[in-house]
Amino acid sequence: MNVLMISAEMTPFAKVGGLADVVDALSRALADRKHDVRVVLPLYGHLDRTAEKIVPIRSLPPLTARVGQRIHDFRFWRRGSAQARVKIYLVECDDLFGRPGIYTQPGGDAFGDSLARASLHAQAALLLPRLFDWPVEVIHAHDAEAVPALLYRRQWYAERGLPGPGGTLLTIHNLAHQEVHPAAAVETLGLPAGMAAYPGLLEFQGQLNLLKAGILAADQVNTVSPNYANETRTTRMFGCGLEEMLASRQDSYTGILNGADYGTWDPARDRNLPANYSSTRLEGKEKCREALCAELKLAVAGKAADQGPLCGFVGRLVRQKGVDLLLPLLDRLAADGFRFAILGTGEARLEDAMRVVAAKHPGRISFSGQFDEGLAHRIYAGSDLFLMPSEFEPCGLSQMYALKYGTPPVVRRTGGLADTVVDATATGPGRKGTGFVFDEARPEALLGALRRAEKLWRNPDDWGRLQRRGMACDFSWAEAAATYEGVYQRAVTTGASHE
C-alpha cells in the first residue's frame, strides 16, 4: 500500500517523546512488509541539516499555500537517498517552522501559531501525491497536530482531482493533547465557519478542538495500547472529555500496542554504553552501573546494607508521568540508601523541585534537566530499577526499553504499562513477573512497590531470574505493523464507502 504519514515528530529529526520513536520504527516495519511509506515532517529551525543528511528537492516548482490571510512560500527537503526504504520529506517554511521548538518555545511557552503550523504541514503533505505522481492509498495522521490533513482531504481530493486517498487513519498517542483554540481560529484553517460552531465537526464545548474533529473525521481511529483504548472510551479521567466521541466510533476505535525498536534499543549492540551485555552475559551491566555512578557522581554501586538499588527515571517531567508521586518519597528513600539517576525536562515547578532535592542528597540523587539521548541509554542500562509511576500512560516505551536492558520497571497499573509489565511479587514467589506494579496513584503505593522491589533485589538469584525474564520479552514492531496493515485495509474500505 502507498501510505502517507503525517507527524510533528520523528526520530532522529524531531523528538519530544514516544511519538518520534513510533513514527520512525513503525514506518520502517511497514516498509519491511513491502509498503511504500512516505513521512512528511516540518523542517524545524533547530534541525541540523548537514548532520541529518537532508537535501532540498530542487526539481520541484516553487510552492505556496494560503494559511488564514497569508500566503506562505515553502519547499520540500528530503533525506539524502532517493532509494531509502522509507521516504522522508521535510517542509521548509521559514515563516512558520524556521525557529527552534516543536510544540513550544525553548522557554516552554506554547507557540501562538500552532494552528497555522499544522495547516501548512497538512497542505504540504497532501500535495505530495500529485507532485510525485504517487497515488496515496492511506493517509495516516498522528495526533491532533496532523488532523487538518483529515479535514482537508475530502474537499481537496474532490475539488482538485488528486490521486487517492482511499482511507484515513488517526493514531492518538495521548488524549490529553487535543489542540484546543477559540472557535474564531477556524479562519486559520480555511474551513467553513460552521464547522467550529455547535454542532459542527470541530466544535467542542464552545471551542475549536482538533482532536475531536479528527476522531469523527477519520475512517479509522486507534490508540497505542488495548488497555488505554478501553480506559479512554469508558472514563472521563482517561478520555479527557472525548470518551463519548471515542465510544461512538465503536469497532472503528482500537488499541494497538506500540513496539520497541530493538535495532536501537538492545544492550548487546548499543553504542552509547561503556560495555555491552545480554541476558546470558550480564557482567557488562555491572560496568554500566559503575560508569553511570561515576558520570553522575553517585555513590558507587554495591549491596552493603546501607546501599539500596539505583533507580533510573527518564521522561518528561509532567504530572502524567507520576513525578508528583515520586517527589515526596525522595528524601526518605535517599536516607535509606536508594540512589536515583533522574533525567527529564518539563514543568518548571517539577524541574525546580528535582534540583532542590538533588542538591540536598549529593551522591544519592542526581538530576539532569536536559534532553540527552545518550544519557537516557546509559540510565536504562546502568540502573537496577526503572521508575515509571505514571498517572496515565497511553502505551509507554520506556518500560519496554528498561525490560530489555535488564532493569525491572516499577509501574502503576494503567494504560500500556498494565499491558506490558507483570508484577513479580503478587504472582507468588517471583516466578512469572517482569517488574513491580502498584494500583493507587498515591506516594505510599509507589513506596510499597519500591520496598517489594528492594527486598527481591537483595536476593541475587531471584533478581537475576527477574532480569532475564524481562530481557526475554519481545515487543517488536513486526506484530504491530501487521495489525496496522489490517486497520489500513479497513480504512480503505470505509473510505471507499464515503465516495
Total residues contacting ligand ADP (rule CB under 6 A)? Answer: 18
Q: Does 373 bind ligand ADP (CB under 6 A)?
A: yes
Minimal distance in Å, beta carbon 347 to ligand ADP? 13
Q: Does 397 bind ligand ADP (CB under 6 A)?
A: yes
Compute and round to an integer the Cα radius of gyration of the chain: 23
* Closer CB to ligand ADP, 309 or 344, in the complex: 344
Minimal distance in Å, beta carbon 262 to ligand ADP? 13
Minimal distance in Å, beta carbon 7 to ligand ADP? 13
Q: Does 444 bind ligand ADP (CB under 6 A)?
A: no
Q: Which of 39, 124, 330, 376 binds ligand ADP (CB under 6 A)?
A: 376
* Closer CB to ligand ADP, 310 or 397, in the complex: 397
Of 32-40, 394-402, 406-414, 424-432, the window that binds ligand ADP (rule: CB under 6 A) is: 394-402
Q: Does 485 bind ligand ADP (CB under 6 A)?
A: no
* Closer CB to ligand ADP, 129 or 470, in the complex: 470
- The b-or-e profile of 275-304 (16+ CB within 10 A means b, else e) is bbbebeeeebbebbbbbbbebbebbebeee
Q: Does 166 bind ligand ADP (CB under 6 A)?
A: no
x/- map, 246-275, ligand ADP, by CB under 6 A: ------------------------------
Q: Does 18 bind ligand ADP (CB under 6 A)?
A: yes
* Closer CB to ligand ADP, 12 or 98, in the complex: 12
- Identify whether the C-beta of residue 352 lies closer than 8 Å to the C-beta of residue 363: no
Which residues face 310 on adjacent strands? Answer: 339
* Closer CB to ligand ADP, 316 or 465, in the complex: 316
Q: How far apart are the first and last CA of the chain?
A: 19
Of 186-194, 235-243, 366-374, 452-460, the window that binds ligand ADP (rule: CB under 6 A) is: 366-374
Burial class (CB in 10 A: 0-12, 13-18, 19+), 46: exposed
Q: How far is CA 249 from the centre of its chain?
A: 23
Q: Could you give the CA distance from residue 297 to residue 164 in angstroms, rounded to a whole number?
A: 57
* Closer CB to ligand ADP, 11 or 307, in the complex: 11
* Closer CB to ligand ADP, 124 or 343, in the complex: 343
Nearest CA-CA partner of 76 in 40, 108, 48, 114: 40
Q: Could you give the CA distance from residue 375 to residue 372 in angstroms, rounded to a whole number?
A: 5
Minimal distance in Å, beta carbon 272 to ligand ADP? 11
DSSP 172-212: ES-TT---EEEGGGHHHHT--GGGGSTTSSSEETTEEEHHH
DSSP 330-397: HHHHHHTT-EEEEE--B-HHHHHHHHHHHHHSTTTEEEE-S--HHHHHHHHHH-SEEEE--S--SS-S
Q: Could you give the CA distance from residue 35 to residue 378 in angstroms, rounded to a whole number?
A: 34
Nearest CA-CA partner of 248 in 206, 217, 289, 273: 217
Strands 2-6 and 36-42: parallel
x/- map, 332-361, ligand ADP, by CB under 6 A: -----------xxx----------------
Of 38-46, 63-71, 146-154, 365-373, the window that binds ligand ADP (rule: CB under 6 A) is: 365-373
Q: Could you give the CA distance from residue 274 to residue 254 in angstroms, rounded to a whole number?
A: 41
DSSP-assigned letter for residue 317: B
Of 12-20, 24-32, 291-299, 440-448, the window that binds ligand ADP (rule: CB under 6 A) is: 12-20
Q: Which of 1, 7, 14, 21 binds ligand ADP (CB under 6 A)?
A: 21
Of 126-134, 269-277, 392-400, 483-491, the window that binds ligand ADP (rule: CB under 6 A) is: 392-400
Minimal distance in Å, beta carbon 274 to ligand ADP? 18
Strands 203-204 and 207-209: antiparallel
Q: Does 17 bind ligand ADP (CB under 6 A)?
A: yes
Q: Does 396 bind ligand ADP (CB under 6 A)?
A: yes
What cell does 248 get? Answer: 461512538
Q: Could you give the CA distance from residue 323 to residue 282 in angstroms, rounded to a whole number?
A: 30
Minimal distance in Å, beta carbon 268 to ligand ADP? 18
Of 15-23, 44-52, 297-305, 350-358, the window that binds ligand ADP (rule: CB under 6 A) is: 15-23
Cis amide bond preceding 267, omega within 30: no
* Closer CB to ligand ADP, 186 or 410, in the complex: 410
- Identify whether the C-beta of residue 361 lies closer than 8 Å to the C-beta of residue 334: yes
Instruction: Identify residues 308-337 at the interface with ligand ADP (CB under 6 A).
Output: 314-316
Q: Does 86 bind ligand ADP (CB under 6 A)?
A: no
Q: Could you give the CA distance from residue 149 to residue 95 in angstroms, rounded to a whole number?
A: 20
- Identify whether the C-beta of residue 199 lies closer than 8 Å to the C-beta of residue 132: no
Q: Does 433 bind ligand ADP (CB under 6 A)?
A: no
Minimal distance in Å, beta carbon 368 to ligand ADP? 8
Minimal distance in Å, beta carbon 316 to ligand ADP? 5
Minimal distance in Å, beta carbon 393 to ligand ADP? 7
Q: Return residues touching ligand ADP (CB under 6 A).
A: 17-19, 21, 314-316, 343-345, 371-373, 376, 395-398
